[in-house]
Structures are given as C-alpha cells and as structure tokens.
C-alpha cells in the first residue's frame, strides 16, 4: 500500500507547484531589476540633461519641419490638389 504523500499524483502536483513558484520568483526579480534600470535611466536624463550643444534643439527643429511638411501635404490632399 502506497502512503498518500508518496502517491505519484501528489508528487507531480507538488513539484509542478514548486516549479511555478521558482519561475514566478525569477520573473519577478527580473521585472524589478528592469524597473530599477528604467528608474536609473530616468534619473540620469532628468539630472544630467544633454551637454547643451544644441543637438536636441536641432533634432526638435527637424521634427517640427517634418510635421509641418506632413500637414502641408495633408491639406493639399484635403483640398484636392495634386502634388
């Protein structure tokens, strides 16, 4: 007669539960590490802005010009003008 604790079903269920707990703990630890990394990146970007060489302003100006060009094209399409 097999004791209830040595039943193969109980052993399989217990080992599966332990495996799920281990995997969940590892994933949680990895998630916390990723969040810490993102917090550090945000702190660095807030406390240490770019060198002030104007590169961020230049990028913003290019993006703004691109958006203006897109708006111009959309207005032309809306009015029925072929480009």
- Average pLDDT of 6-27? 95
Tens digit of pLDDT for each residue in 21-42?
Answer: 999 999 999 999 999 999 998 8
Residue 78, token pair as written in the block: 């809306």
Burial 33-65 (b: 16+ CB within 10 A, else e): eeeeeeeeeeeeeeeeeeeeeeeeeeeeeeeee
Average pLDDT, the chain: 85
- Please give the residue that has the higher pLDDT: either 19 or 63: 19
Whole-angstrom Cα distance, residue 50 to residue 60? 13
């Amino acid at each position: 007669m097999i004791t209830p604790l040595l039943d193969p079903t109980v052993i399989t269920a217990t080992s599966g539960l332990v495996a799920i707990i281990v995997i969940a703990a590892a994933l949680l630890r990895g998630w916390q590490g990723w969040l810490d990394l993102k917090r550090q990146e945000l702190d660095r970007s807030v406390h240490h802005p770019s060198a002030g060489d104007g590169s961020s302003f230049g990028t913003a100006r290019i993006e703004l010009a691109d958006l203006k060009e897109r708006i111009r094209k959309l207005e032309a399409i809306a009015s029925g003008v072929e480009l």
